[in-house]
Structure 1
Amino acid sequence: MGSEVGVCIIGAGRAGRIHAVNYRKSVPYAQLVAIVDPNRAAAEEAARELGIERVYTDYREALADDRIHAVVVVTPTVYHREIVVAAARAGKHVLCEKPMAMDERECDDMIAACAQAEVKLQLAFMRRFDESFREAKRVIEDGAIGDVVLVKSLTRGPSTPQPWMYDLKKSNGPLAEVSSHDIDALRWFAGSEITELYAAGGNYRCPDIRETYPDFYDNVTMTVKFQDGKTGSIDGAMGVQYGYDSRVEILGTEGVIFLGQTHERTIVTANRSKTLTRPFMNSWRSLFKEAYLAEDTDFIACILEDRPPSVSGHDGKMAVKVVEAGNRSLTSGEVVKLKA
């Protein structure tokens, strides 16, 4: 491998393009080698935009390419386990987008395959690489707000779900697709595991699919209890229209931390109507642009330095475990206790 890591992006969608641009232009000691997507037109379009030549429609062909040392898996969740296990067996390091997999068993398979092959497995919880999130973690560890007692996190997106997301058997619903980052944020800031939860939600914005997908929900709230007694809450929504909204509140015995911003630019406009207007945050791609780059850079660094990834397969598995329990609570209407 030498001093440069050859990277392949598997999945040419929105998040895949972010990783691809980073590895093509901005990540030291990395070279974007190839793009994989079963839709050849999408893969070729991405390759043209990025100025690379190698395109695959079958990820297995990419795994046989000796110029590729690491892959970034950015496909629908239902395919993660298959691709990550195959990549590990081919000796490729793996950065896997959230949610890690469909269930805990699949997560265990992925972790075991990467451990056996002695390749890195990093989970793409990019918020851990956001500078404000990192500073909040340092403030907590320094004791500036006393002992943490409550962590609240919300993520609301403006766009309607992709068609495959309506089927919970393929997506695990918004708790997985939207709220996985919130679940990880709660665990990270609390420094403890979730042992009990209750979730409630419903489909309020997608009436056309209620008959075909009666279990789908586009709004969810979840309250949790941690092993050490802390509490937390999550608020997730899709198709809210007003913008992209991501905020965290961490309450301690001696203070509080607020994370997140709702404005995309600093301009504020006032006019004769005596009102102030300010552009609302448009997309996660804007809010976490630098966090994605820091995450992608750290992945290459952990390979070259031969150190554990900053966000592990275990972190991904714990989020999946909470998603599964949350979906059970939504279905049953009951509090769910999680086994250790």
Structure 2
Amino acid sequence: MRNTEIGVCVIGSGRAGMIHAANFRRNVPHASLVAVVDPNEAVAKQAAESLGIDTYYTDYKEALKSDNIDAVIVVTPTIFHRDIVVAAAEAGKHVFCEKPMAMNANECEDMIAAAKRNKVKLQIGFMRRFNDSFIQAKEEIDSGAIGDVVLVRSLTRGPSIPQPWMYDLSKSNGPLAEVNSHDIDTLNWFVDADIESVFALAGNFRCPQAQAEFPDFYDNVVLTARFENQKQGMIDGAVSVKYGYDSRVEILGTEGVIFIGQVHEKTIVTANRNGLTRPVMNSWRTLFSDAYLAEDVHFIECILEDKEPKVSGNDGKKAVMVVNAGNQSIKERKEILLSSVLAVKA
């Protein structure tokens, strides 16, 4: 590393990639955005221009050759995560990888091993752990404010139609991965135990355009989980709901309950002859903007202070295993033990 300023390259110039890029360009202390990568040259060039930087690449392998880059932010389709992260680690670059971490447990283990072998940091993008409300909820759980946690219910519903590649579960692992990875990590974090088994139900109710070519694609899913300590979890996930972006959590304890989130963006309510109106949250980019910045700041701190990220590769692997087990449960219509998923992938 050249000095105390970390040169950052964002690999993937889509919506989430540009959130991270803008943070590192202007708002993260001791970090400098030096390049962006996208296989579509027009997209890469436009991203660089909008960010006010000179360097862009269409091949991440070329970016990894640069001595000006100390760390990379991987924000590509999930199927590419393993190869990019391993290559970056082998090149001596620290890695922030957006969720979902990878396609299966084996890929996660490859990424964890590469980071360890090359002595670089690996952080996974579960930004809800950096949201003030989630942090406070975790503190209250740990303080015993609601007694022992019994059940965590977490839902995420998105308004937009999935990108075409997401319909193919062999490339995306479906909404359980793309939408509900955050919910899975929320359950793991708040219960503070490993999930033992899951049972999931799913269907395609709003995306008829995917049914012919991708009959296994689902836009609505419900997953129940049993933890090794017998605590309970429930996840509700949906895409293309159209009414807005919806993220809420309920944590039930032996002596109380904690609620996080609301569907409304603001507290204002307007009433007139047409009835009541209240603004609805329209995007995850709005709801979690501060959390995205906080996790980016944390990543740079971990590099400079040589400390382990709060969200590790092992955390990412646990979520991926639940995704794989959930998809297997949907297909086989039965409860799936996570130990059997790991055995199959090994």
- TM-score in same-fold range (> 0.5): yes
Aligned to 1:50: 51
AA of the residue aligned to 1:37: D
For 1:257 and 1:266, how far apart are their aligned partners in 2?
19
Aligned to 2:260: 259
What is the SS of the residue equivalent to 1:232?
Answer: strand
For 2:316 and 2:218, how far apart are their aligned partners in 1?
22
For 2:252 and 2:332, how far apart are their aligned partners in 1?
30
For 1:303 and 1:224, how far apart are their aligned partners in 2?
35
Aligned to 2:98: 97
What is the SS of the residue equivalent to 1:257?
Answer: strand
Aligned to 1:334: 334
Aligned to 1:66: 67
Q: Tell me the percent identity.
A: 65
Aligned to 1:9: 10
Structure 1 position 272, deviation (Å): 2.6
AA of the residue aligned to 1:220: V
Please list the CA deviations of residues 76-116 of structure 1 after superposition, one character each: whole Å capped at 9, or x if unmatched. 00000000000000000000000000010000000000000
Please list the CA deviations of residues 215-246 of structure 1 after superposition, one character each: whole Å capped at 9, or x if unmatched. 10000000000011100100000000000000
For 1:46 and 1:117, how far apart are their aligned partners in 2?
30
For 2:243 and 2:329, how far apart are their aligned partners in 1?
28
Aligned to 1:276: 276
For 2:125 and 2:238, how far apart are their aligned partners in 1?
20
More displaced stretch, 189-198 vs 208-217: 208-217
Please list the CA deviations of residues 18-52 of structure 1 after superposition, one character each: whole Å capped at 9, or x if unmatched. 00000001000000000000011111111111100
Structure 1 position 264, deviation (Å): 1.7
For 2:132 and 2:51, how far apart are their aligned partners in 1?
27
For 2:223 and 2:105, how far apart are their aligned partners in 1?
20
AA of the residue aligned to 1:160: I
For 1:208 and 1:159, how far apart are their aligned partners in 2?
14
Structure 1: segments with no counterpart, 5+ residues = none
1:109 aligns with 2:110: yes
For 1:234 and 1:272, how far apart are their aligned partners in 2?
38
For 1:87 and 1:134, how far apart are their aligned partners in 2?
30
For 1:159 and 1:46, how far apart are their aligned partners in 2?
22
Aligned to 1:322: 322
Please list the CA deviations of residues 103-158 of structure 1 after superposition, one character each: whole Å capped at 9, or x if unmatched. 10000000000000000000000000001000000000010000000000000000
AA of the residue aligned to 1:171: S
AA of the residue aligned to 1:11: G
More displaced stretch, 70-79 vs 259-268: 259-268
For 1:299 and 1:26, how far apart are their aligned partners in 2?
13
Structure 1 position 268, deviation (Å): 1.9
Equivalenced residue count is 339
What is the SS of the residue equivalent to 1:123?
Answer: strand
Runs of 4+ in 1 over 3 A off after TM superposition: none
Structure 2: segments with no counterpart, 5+ residues = none
Aligned to 1:218: 219
Structure 1 position 335, deviation (Å): 0.6
1:177 aligns with 2:178: yes
For 1:184 and 1:175, how far apart are their aligned partners in 2?
12
Aligned to 2:188: 187
Aligned to 2:308: 308
